A and B are shown apart, each in its own frame.
Chain A
């Protein structure tokens, strides 16, 4: 009788314990699991990250569009500090109309701060995309284009880097470790608490990583190839002639000056890019001529900008 009662008491205690645990666990998850996540619903427990360091993949994926926006502004400021902006209202307005139209048809029509297209007064044949959508095109690049469809190719390629968030890929692994750890500490410290300086340092390091790479080496073979094929998809959505990509590459090959700091250094060889584009265009309608209106309005807007 005594043993039976003890057993019963044990069962009751166990039941009660389980009930309490279930109730508690439900609350603790929703209240303390502060996560940073992205659109796949992926989330990182930031306290865990603060203690153990976020995995590189976690830290990378926890990067919001807002984080990217501030990083992109700093990268853009770096580019602006090394180049002169080309002031030409007609050319600027035309590139803005063209660029915003293409961006609106991309897979990321809206970024945190919006797209912006800036012309640079430089003879280099070059174009850059800072994270978040600030895009630069040199006068040298404008000269390499023969019509609107070819300029659309250049802009769609840069927009493809933005929509693919390729800038983030240029950040060194060591920065992500620091970012995860310092962000964790700041979140634990709460609003206005904690030491901001280490995070500002990581910010500066990330900016250097991206700015140096895109100005001297580009996004690397794999991402450049990705941008070339993604650009074709975007161009065809808007109705541009995708085969103009190939004509543009051929023109650029002729314009390349060996050892010069430009597209030749920051992009794969035009010969290889033509191959990639040709493969991607298999099965698409044959090349057709660019409508006269897209040659004439390009010429009109670019008359000053393309002059030597």
Chain B
């Protein structure tokens, strides 16, 4: 009679304990999300973090594909973010960020990205360099065009620095009105 009651008591206590721990964890998660800024991830290569919400503002640092940032503030088209490495705050255009955790290709493993093992295993499957290489092998008639494209992409004449853009706009009496990437 007595041992059985004790067993029941134990089971009840374990059940209550488990339930309580689940609720406590939920509460803890809530508290964390309240304090830490919501995380977003960089979805472009070489994303500029700028001193002000404008594409004509100075570049403070550059982040890589998949790097996480904490969002501190939002304005039209721009987000003020906290970067982890270096630990700093700056502005990024919202279109360069995604809520989705970016997964890296095999060999692209970045120690800064705290991705779980599952995510790394799934990482980067889809259209990537590997698919392009296979496609090029199968479509030899496009190879010359691909090589030409690679040359054009690498040519510095195809890029414009911040100073050159400001000069070009100034010379052309172009104004800078709010909105978009500026």
Q: Which residue of B lies closest to A8 (CB)?
A: B8
Stretch at the interface among B67-75, B81-89, B174-182: B174-182
Q: Annotate B1-32 by CB proximity to A: 1 below 8 A, 0 otherwise.
A: 00010001001101110110110010000000
Would you call B141 an interface residue if the criterion is a C-beta within 8 Å of the partner chain's C-beta atoms?
yes
Q: Complex formed: what's the CA distance from A38 to B177 in Å?
A: 29
Do B122 and A74 touch across chains, with their CB atoms under 8 A apart? no
* Most-contacted residue by chain A among B93, B149, B173, B177 (CB, 10 A): B149
Do B172 and A107 touch across chains, with their CB atoms under 8 A apart? no
Partner of A31, one of B16, B116, B144: B116
Given contacts A23-B22, A35-B100, A96-B158, contact A196 B173 (CB under 8 A): no
Would you call A199 an interface residue if the criterion is a C-beta within 8 Å of the partner chain's C-beta atoms?
yes
Q: Complex formed: what's the CA distance from A262 to B73 in Å?
A: 46
Would you call A283 an interface residue if the criterion is a C-beta within 8 Å of the partner chain's C-beta atoms?
no
Q: Complex formed: what's the CA distance from A6 to B126 in Å?
A: 56
Partner of A38, one of B25, B98, B168, B172: B98
Q: Annotate B110-145 by CB proximity to A: 1 below 8 A, 0 otherwise.
A: 000000101111111111111110110011011011
Q: Annotate A22-49 by CB proximity to B: 1 below 8 A, 0 otherwise.
A: 1100100001101111111101001000
Q: Which of A220-245 contact B (CB under 8 A)?
A: 233-234, 236-240
* Most-contacted residue by chain A among B45, B77, B119, B174 (CB, 10 A): B174
Stretch at the interface among A137-145, A272-280, A291-299: A291-299
Residues of A within 8 A of B175 (CB): 238-239
Q: Which residue of B lies closest to A111 (CB)?
A: B44
Given contacts A12-B12, A85-B148, A191-B123, contact A36 B100 (CB under 8 A): yes
Would you call B47 an interface residue if the criterion is a C-beta within 8 Å of the partner chain's C-beta atoms?
yes
Q: Which residue of A lies closest to B78 (CB)?
A: A109
Q: Complex formed: what's the CA distance from A101 to B168 in Å?
A: 8
Q: Complex formed: what's the CA distance from A187 to B103 in Å?
A: 11
Would you call A190 an interface residue if the criterion is a C-beta within 8 Å of the partner chain's C-beta atoms?
yes
Partner of B160, one of A22, A67, A73, A97: A97
Would you call A287 an interface residue if the criterion is a C-beta within 8 Å of the partner chain's C-beta atoms?
no
Do B172 and A41 touch across chains, with their CB atoms under 8 A apart? no
Would you call A110 an interface residue if the criterion is a C-beta within 8 Å of the partner chain's C-beta atoms?
yes
Partner of A187, one of B100, B125, B128: B125
Q: Annotate A66-84 by CB proximity to B: 1 below 8 A, 0 otherwise.
A: 1101110110111011000
Would you call B60 an interface residue if the criterion is a C-beta within 8 Å of the partner chain's C-beta atoms?
no
Partner of B118, one of A31, A64, A199: A31
Would you call A192 an interface residue if the criterion is a C-beta within 8 Å of the partner chain's C-beta atoms?
yes
Give B residues with C-beta under 8 Å from A: 4, 8, 11-12, 14-16, 18-19, 21-22, 25, 43-48, 55-56, 65, 77, 93-100, 102, 106, 116, 118-132, 134-135, 138-139, 141-142, 144-146, 148-149, 152-153, 157-160, 164-165, 168-169, 171-182
8 pairs, CB–CB < 8 Å, chain A vs chain B: A15-B19, A18-B19, A31-B116, A34-B118, A34-B119, A73-B149, A187-B122, A291-B172
Give A residues with C-beta under 8 Å from B: 5, 8-9, 12-13, 15-16, 18-20, 22-23, 26, 31-32, 34-41, 43, 46, 64-67, 69-71, 73-74, 76-78, 80-81, 85, 89, 92-93, 96-98, 100-101, 103-114, 116-118, 134, 148, 163, 183, 186-187, 190-192, 196-197, 199-200, 203-204, 207, 233-234, 236-240, 291, 293-294, 297
Beyond the given pairs A96-B159, A98-B168, A109-B96, 16 more chain A to chain B contacts, judged by CB atoms under 8 angstroms and listed by A's residue number, are A12-B8, A15-B19, A66-B127, A74-B142, A77-B145, A77-B146, A97-B168, A100-B165, A105-B179, A108-B95, A110-B95, A112-B44, A114-B46, A183-B125, A239-B176, A291-B172
